[in-house]
């Protein structure tokens, strides 16, 4: 337990550093975008590539992925039942709500948690691939088909090829290719990639802390859709993952901690980007991202404390 709590302590300390430098104006609000882009487009893809390329494929596609997929479908079904069936939300509103309640921040926050707390950054790779290759395109197809969700039609080719323009997806797939083929890349090639990869965790965490220092009061509107999405994402999804892992799969120790912890990750910022693009439920997406982000760290620390 001390090792896990210590790992979380390191993550929180770096995030607090980002908050402090933002609070005192050392870094500005605009710098958060720069750091986030650096982490998303450069450092995190490098980290995913190196970890997946060196990982055991059996460890990557393990019960962690299965457990997270089942818990994801549970919260999505609950949101659709309440929001779409009972509250009569439109297809676009329900789709953004589904994403807000289940689409986890696997890139910016998931990789640090997997690498430093669980000791294996590759555990988050299949979650990234599922979200970008399957979950997002399905949501885009629904949103594109709803005239209220988009002012213009998007071709099938754009929907299909969009995931492959995501650097996290490309890096994960390249890492998988290297791992499957069994090629050992020379140190001359891997060393600069490892050097860039080492920046992924601290840069992402500083950006995370910096985003919180900008102030979120005016950006959060608490309505029943927001409460439902945040409650499902923050509490129900990790609880569902734990229930499945513990009682259906009889997992213990790290094997039980990993799916529960990764299911507790907050809503990804991508969801707000999608909502803005499709002009659907922007307030819901923004509030869910911010609230789940604020709640996720204490919830994950509690989970780590209880399961170790």
Helices (H), 182-281: 187-197, 200-213, 224-231, 237-243, 254-263, 270-278
Q: What is the pTM of this model?
A: 0.77
pLDDT 10s per residue in the chain (308 long)?
A: 555 566 667 777 888 898 899 989 898 878 888 888 888 889 888 988 987 888 777 766 677 788 989 999 999 999 999 999 999 998 899 999 999 999 998 877 888 888 878 888 778 888 888 887 788 878 877 887 764 444 555 666 766 776 677 787 888 889 889 988 888 889 999 999 999 988 887 888 888 788 777 665 555 677 899 999 999 999 999 999 999 999 998 888 878 999 999 999 999 877 887 787 777 888 898 889 888 988 988 899 899 888 87
Write a three-state SS string for 269-285.
Answer: CHHHHHHHHHCCCHHHH
3-state SS class at 259: helix
302 Cβ contact partners less than 8 Å away, ≥ 6 residues apart: none
């Amino acid at each position: 337990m001390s090792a896990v709590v210590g790992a979380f302590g390191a993550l929180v300390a770096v995030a607090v550093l980002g908050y402090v430098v933002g609070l005192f104006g050392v870094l500005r609000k605009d710098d958060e975008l720069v750091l986030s882009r650096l982490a998303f487009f450069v450092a995190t893809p490098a980290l995913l590539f190196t970890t997946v390329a060196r990982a055991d494929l059996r460890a990557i596609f393990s019960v962690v992925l299965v457990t997270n997929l089942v818990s994801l479908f549970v919260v999505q079904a609950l949101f659709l039942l309440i929001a779409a069936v009972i509250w009569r939300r439109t297809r676009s509103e329900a789709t953004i709500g589904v994403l807000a309640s289940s689409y986890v921040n696997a890139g910016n926050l998931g990789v640090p948690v997997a690498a430093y707390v669980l000791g294996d950054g590759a555990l988050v790779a299949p979650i990234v691939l599922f979200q970008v290759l399957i979950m997002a395109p399905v949501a885009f197809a629904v949103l594109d088909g709803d005239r209220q969700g988009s002012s213009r039609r998007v071709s099938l080719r754009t929907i299909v090829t969009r995931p492959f323009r995501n650097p996290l997806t490309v890096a994960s797939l390249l890492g998988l290719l290297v791992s499957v083929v069994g090629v050992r890349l020379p140190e001359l090639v891997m060393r600069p990639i490892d050097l860039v990869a080492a920046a992924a965790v601290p840069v992402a965490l500083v950006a995370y802390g910096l985003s919180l220092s900008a102030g979120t009061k005016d950006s959060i509107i608490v309505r029943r859709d927001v409460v439902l999405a945040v409650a499902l994402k923050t509490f129900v999804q990790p609880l569902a993952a734990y229930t499945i892992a513990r009682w259906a799969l009889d997992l213990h120790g790290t094997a039980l901690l990993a799916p529960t912890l990764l299911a507790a990750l907050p809503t990804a910022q991508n969801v707000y980007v999608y909502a803005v693009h499709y002009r659907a439920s922007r307030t819901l997406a923004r509030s869910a991202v911010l609230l789940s982000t604020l709640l996720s760290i204490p919830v994950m620390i509690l989970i780590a404390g209880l399961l170790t």
